[in-house]
Structure 1
Amino acid sequence: MKERRRTHGVLGAVAVASVLALSLAGCRGSANEGGGGGGSAASPGITDTTITLGITTPLSGATAGPGTCTVAGAKAYFGAKNAEGGIKFGDGKTRKVEIKTYDDGYDPQKSLANFQQMVSDNVFAEGIGLGTPTNRAFREAAISQKVPQILVMTGDPLFSDQKQSPWQLGLVPIYQNEGEAFGKLVAASGGAHKVAILSQNDDYGKGYVQGFKDAIKGNSSITVVGEQTYEATDTSVDAQLTQLAATGADVFFNAMSITPLVIASLQKAQQIGWKPSWFLPSNTSSPTAILQPGGATAYPGVYTVAFAKAPQSPEFAKDEDVVKFLSDLKQYGNYSDTPAFPHCMWSYIAGATLEKAFGSMTDPTRDSFMKALRNIKGLEAPLMLKGTSVDTTKDGQPAISTVLVQKYNGKGYATSSTFG
């Protein structure tokens, strides 16, 4: 590519310049320029010694609790790895992982601006951040600029569709998977149940409801007797709860993502004397941050789904994974309390998943990374419950698609295969 030839005349000079430009573009391929080694020109954000990841997530506002957890868990995992010397990549080099964080306050416009800032900051990939609308806000921009947007904490199936989202991959089970698990549990009970549904009026809520209804379809003993929706910007759902309580439903499927509203819902239902069994999404079912202040023990049962060990549960108090996780979280994640939200554990699992992908990257490029990331199967990452694993090879499914139903016992959760 550096060869220079003597030419005669203006036309000859122009021709050589054109060939040189095309040759340089061909050498870069689909990767962008940046520091690093390997057989291909390195993408931005990776050198011979470091790789930089960006996280946009709510660090302020109503969802700041779980949002802060997403950052803490990732920093805990990679902080511990960096202290050990770094992670060995598939190209033979050992690199430390640097994390840049951006607060979007669960505002799509802010998350889009954050992504644009990440591009200016030369991050290698964006990922792990919480939120469906916030991650959707820059999905198309990430595709256009070929920036990986990976292991995001949204159950939106769009992020795991390789044709529609070639530079994306979700981490947590899609909404339909969780809703289906609840529906199957009720259907398997053998009893007659009346179900009331309150869902967020967006793809989040619709996905949960679809999965639940698909699972109970054809079961005449399970009847949906009332449905209400709310907007993610609402500050109260008292009116909807009052209407649903009037149905006399003994099962309440609450597909809600806003922490304060879940707590208020638990309290309001008690105030009006409605005490059904509850089903809550995995991201809004924290024992300490939601169920305890909501007085969840007043209900015959509160159920959720999980794939990660909960440090609050007595059964995991001395678990080797949990002990190390809590130590790393305090030392490197700047998070001294036992996490009230599962997102701390989820991002720690995401860290292990990324390490697996890094170990298979043969070139310091985003293309090589995405290929490695989509080729992980049967990874039992730290903190994962027995019976669950990371599998990124299924098109249309996120990195984790298996969940276990759990029932609240007043302190934490215990796996439950029966309803009632």
Structure 2
Amino acid sequence: MNRHFGSRQAVGIAAVSALALTLTACGGGRDSGRSGDAAEGAPSPGITDDSVTLGITTPLSGATAGPGTCTVAGVTAYFGMKNAEGGVEFGDGQTRTVEIEALDDTYDPQQAAANYDSLKDDVFAMTAGLGTPTNRAWREAAIADEVPQALIMTGDPLFSDTEESPWQLGFVPIYQNEGEAFGELLASSSEEHRVAILSQNDDFGAGYVEGFKSAVEGADNIEIVEELTYEATDTSVDAQITQLAASDADVFFNAMSVTPLVISALQQAQQLNWLPNWFLPSNTSSPGAILQPGGADAFPGIYSVSFSKAPQSPAFAEDEDVQTYLSALAEYGNYPDPPAFPHCQWSWMVGATLEQAFMEMEEPTRDSFMEALRSIEDFQAPLMLEGTAVTTSEDGQPAVSTLNVQKYNGTGYDTVESFE
């Protein structure tokens, strides 16, 4: 089921941080009132005639190290491949390579802000980093410093609001979009359903729940019977799962972002013999890293959303995009095994989208880069599923706002059109 919402694991990353990559950068001035180097057309920090440097702050250790590592590996692999081919030709006619500087924030907002401070004067733009609280921690500083916070891995709609966040743009669908897709699928069912909800007690969880509730509002066949939250710092959600199991809900809307907690929630539900259908966010629905360790086959259905091809899926085993990606991921991203998290695919797509902006920049400035970045229309980035695309020009929406609802099949996911 394709949804469009418009208008309105660990990998050795020490080597990644030191890996030299390249890219081209140019840009034309914007008339948005920005000032400084961009207004004069002088090169911004982090870019020369030969190279451009991108910064990333993301969790490379701790509970979210798996997906965090992937946010570096994919984009590093993409530009490693491009650099090996000679670099990227920018809109000003210069060909540049891209250097990636990645720092570990352990999913801690204070450390993320410190990482940004240490990178901001040496990089052309920040990109790809995972997390809502961690990206929010330095958002205002990036605006004040006029440093792009481009194509980051958060579904927080604030980062896609041009007026509130003029130097920001999210990459993945906003939380409300994912939640709404689940709600629409469930509301389309001809059966009655009792729903239990567990969400992270922050903007991440609130956004998913908001989107879901908006889609099921007025649906006579849907009843929300229990709703609980947890803290992202919690080490267990067993108590919440036990309480929710007592509701006898047949559908569990589980808006969680912490990998170990999702696995333990799957296991705890089975111990309680509570076997509902599950709705899981795209960032915590990995078949290999989460569903299989959690024993997901015990449940009648595990549903998630996606916009990227999954290398683990037999349907894409011979796909040319996937083969190119896996080869580059091993050679240039220091990631030899098939990726367990979709963030590796997403950051590969981030690299391709950045390249599109670089090719349109007319001056080597951050201002020109942002103008080019916000002008991409219907770009079929490599690894995108049919019916999805990158469009960056729609205010209030991230680079990707199209997605497919999918059902776990034991090894990967199949796209579905109705709730079974």
* TM-score normalised by length of structure 1: 0.91
CA-CA distance at 1:32 after TM superposition: 3.3
Check whether the contact 1:278–1:303 (CA below 8 A) recurs between aligned residues.
Answer: yes
Q: Per the alignment, do residues 79 and 31 of structure 1 end up closer, same or farther by CA in structure 2, a change over 3 Å counting? A: farther
Match of 2:389 in 1: 389
Superposed counterparts of 1:289-300, under 5 Å: 289-300=289-300
Q: Does 1:365 align with 2:365?
A: yes
- Aligned residue identity for 2:130: L
Q: Larger RCO: Structure 1 or Structure 2 (Cα < 8 Å, ≥ 6 residues apart)?
A: 2
Match of 1:52 in 2: 53
Q: CA RMSD in A?
A: 1.1
Matched, 1:249 2:271: no
1:262 paired with 2:262, answer yes
1:404 maps to: 404
Say whether residues 1:114 and 2:115 are aligned partners: yes
**Deviations 1:286-338 (Å, cap 9, x if unpaired)?**
00000000000000000000000000001000000000000000000000000
Q: Aligned AA for 1:44? A: P
Tell me how far apart the structure 2 counterparts of residues 40 and 208 of structure 1 sit (CA, whole Å): 41
Kept in 2, the 8 Å contact 1:31–1:42? The answer is no
The amino acid that maps onto 2:308 is A
State the distance in 1 between where 2:61 and 2:179 align: 28
Deviations 1:59-108 (A, max 9, x none): 00000000111110011100000000000001111000110010000000
1:324 partner amino acid: T
Q: Secondary structure at the match of 2:119?
A: helix
Q: How far is the alpha carbon of 1:184 from its aligned partner?
A: 0.4
- Per the TM alignment, residue 274 of structure 1 is displaced from its structure 2 partner at its CA by 0.2
Q: Look up the SS of the partner of 1:43 in the other structure.
A: coil
**What is the match of residue 204 of structure 2?**
204
Partner Cα distance (1:71, 1:277) in 2: 33
| Offset at residue 189 of structure 1 (A) | 1.1
SS in 1 for 2:37: coil
Query: 2: distance between equivalents of 1:330 and 1:31?
Result: 40
Separation of aligned partners in 2, 1:190 and 1:359 = 49
Matches of 1:419 and 1:398, distance apart in 2: 27
SS in 2 for 1:178: helix
Hey, what's the Cα distance between the residues in 2 that align with 1:96 and 1:55? 17
| Residue in structure 1 matched with residue 191 of structure 2 by the alignment | 191
1:7-46 aligned within 5 A? 30-32=35-37, 40-46=41-47
Question: CA offsets per residue over residues 149-200 of structure 1, 9 Å max, x none?
Answer: 0100000000000000000000000000000000000001121000000000
Q: Tell me the secondary structure at the aligned position of residue 359 of structure 1.
A: helix
Report the counterpart of residue 324 of structure 2 in structure 1.
324
- The alpha-carbon deviation at position 39 of structure 1 amounts to 7.8
SS in 1 for 2:411: coil
Amino acid of the residue matched to residue 397 of structure 1?
Q
- Letter of the structure 1 residue corresponding to residue 235 of structure 2: T
Q: Which amino acid aligns with 1:305?
A: V
For the residues of structure 2 that align with 1:48 and 1:104, how far apart are their CA atoms? Answer: 31
Number of matched pairs: 387
Counterpart of 2:383, as a letter, is: L
Instruction: List per-residue Cα deviations over 1:326-360 (Å, max 9, x = no partner).
Output: 00000000000000000000000000000000000
Tell me the SS of whatever aligns to 2:382. coil
The residue that corresponds to 2:216 in the other structure is 216
SS at match of 2:198: strand
Give 1:62's aligned amino acid. Answer: A
* 1:226 lines up with 2:231 in the alignment: no
CA deviations 1:252-311 (Å, max 9, x no partner) are 000000000000000000000100000000000000000000000000000000000000
Match of 1:26 in 2: none
Which residue of the partner structure matches residue 94 of structure 1? 95
- Per-residue CA deviation, residues 348-385 of structure 1 (Å, 9 max, x unaligned), is 00000000000000000001000000000010000000
Using the alignment, how far apart are the partners of 1:413 and 1:335 within structure 2?
Answer: 23
Counterpart residue number, 2:415:
415
**Partner in structure 2 of residue 68 of structure 1:** 69
Structure 1 alignment gaps of length 5 or more? 1-28
Q: In the TM superposition, what is the alpha-carbon distance from 1:418 to its structure 2 partner?
A: 1.3
Amino acid at match of 1:275: L
Alpha-carbon displacement from aligned partner over 1:96-128 (angstroms, at most 9, x marks no partner): 0110010000000000000000024x1000010
Counterpart AA for 1:151: L
So what's the TM-score if we normalise by structure 2?
0.91
The answer as to 2:152 corresponding to 1:147 is: no
Secondary structure in 1 aligned to 2:419? coil
- 2-structure distance, mates of 1:415, 1:393: 27
Q: Which whole-Å CA distance do the structure 2 matches of 1:264 and 1:77 have between them?
A: 34
Q: Unaligned 5+ residue runs, structure 2?
A: 1-33
What residue in structure 2 maps to residue 337 of structure 1?
Answer: 337
